[in-house]
Amino acid sequence: HGLTTALPAALERGEFFIEYQPLVHLGDGTVHGAEALVRWCHPQHGVLGPDQFIPLAEHTGLIVPLGRWVLQESVRQARYWQERHSDGGPLRINVNLSPTQLHHPGLVADTVDVLERSGLEPGALCLEVTESALIGANEDLLKPLRQLAEMGVDIALDDFGTGYSNLANLRRLPVSVLKLDRSFTQGMQRHPADPVDLKIVEGIVTLAHSLELAVTVEGVETGAQAEQLRELGCDTAQGWYYARPGPPDKLHALSMADA
């Protein structure tokens, strides 16, 4: 596969870049932080999304250096925002971790190193792990996440609701945030929203809060959805209604507007 063989050189040539999508407090609409989303500016194919190359990077192992680069770059960016934005509260940064990164023995040391070199406090970093990556996870796999959580790094369960995880299982995972999958938000798109969908979201939020987990909803596309999700008790939201993923300057402008 042509893309596969081009991956390592692409990292060296600096062909990857990061877009940021804001996370917003549903209560007052202020910016809570941003999720880092990697893209590849391919010399022949143009801009490629993560779906087009993350699986390849996972398969070849390039995900480890690529993931380290994404972490370093987005943490550096978050620290920069914080310095420019002292009156707006601590801006947080969410970074996705793939299963291979979770299994990589250098994860904790690399993360500590990136945080120390940037000066970003661990509590401003949230690492997103998919629900499917943690299904059936044993203690060996959870240990690095536990260590990071003890340092103050938030761990979010991404795409929550798409896997088959036992809700009771949540108690033994070192996670502090549930990211409700976009499919739930899409189910609320209809007017009136499906009452069963609403009950499910309400139930998840109640359970999450009783376990002291925060709830972020993805894929919010309308103000009506945002209002409904706020009423259901969700804490933060992300989606096109607020902003599409974009260059760092765009997020800077957005968060400054709230300050």
List of residues contacting ligand G (CB under 6 A): 21, 37-38, 49-51, 54, 67, 70, 96, 98, 158, 182, 218-221, 239-240, 245
Identify whether the C-beta of residue 122 lies closer than 8 Å to the C-beta of residue 153: yes
Q: Is 218 in the site for Mn ion (CB under 5 A)?
A: no
For the CB of residue 184, give the shortest distance to Mn ion in the complex, in Å.
15
158 scored as a contact of Mn ion (CB under 5 A): yes
Q: Which helix (H) or strand (E) holds 214?
A: strand 214-217
Run of H or E residues at 35: strand 31-42
Closer residue to ligand G (CB): 14 or 86: 14
DSSP-H helix ranges across 32-96: 50-60, 63-84
Nearer to ligand G, 26 or 86 (CB): 26
CA angle 213, 217, 219 (to 5 degrees): 160
CB-nearer residue toward ligand G: 131 or 218: 218
Per-residue string for binding with Mn ion, 82-121, x by CB under 5 A?
Answer: --------------x-------------------------
Phi-psi region of 23 (alpha: psi -120 to 50; beta: other; left: phi over 0): beta
Q: How far is the CB of 95 from Mn ion (least distance, A)?
A: 9
Q: How many residues does the chain have?
A: 259
Compute the distance between CA of residue 197 and CA of residue 180 in angstroms, rounded to an integer: 12
Residue placing its CB nearer to ligand G in the complex, 197 or 221: 221
Q: Which residues are near Na ion by CB under 5 A?
A: 158-159
DSSP character for 167?
G
Question: Side chain identity at 247, as an amino acid letter?
Answer: P
Of Mn ion, ligand G, Na ion, none, which one does residue 38 interact with (CB within 5 to 8 Å by kind)? ligand G
Separation in Å, CA 242 to CA 25, 148, 251: 11, 30, 11
Report the partner that residue 51 touches, choosing among Na ion, Mn ion, ligand G, none (CB closer than 5 to 8 A by kind).
ligand G
Residue 98: contacted member of ligand G, Mn ion, Na ion, none (CB under 5 to 8 Å, by partner type)? ligand G
Interface positions with Mn ion (CB under 5 A): 96, 128, 158
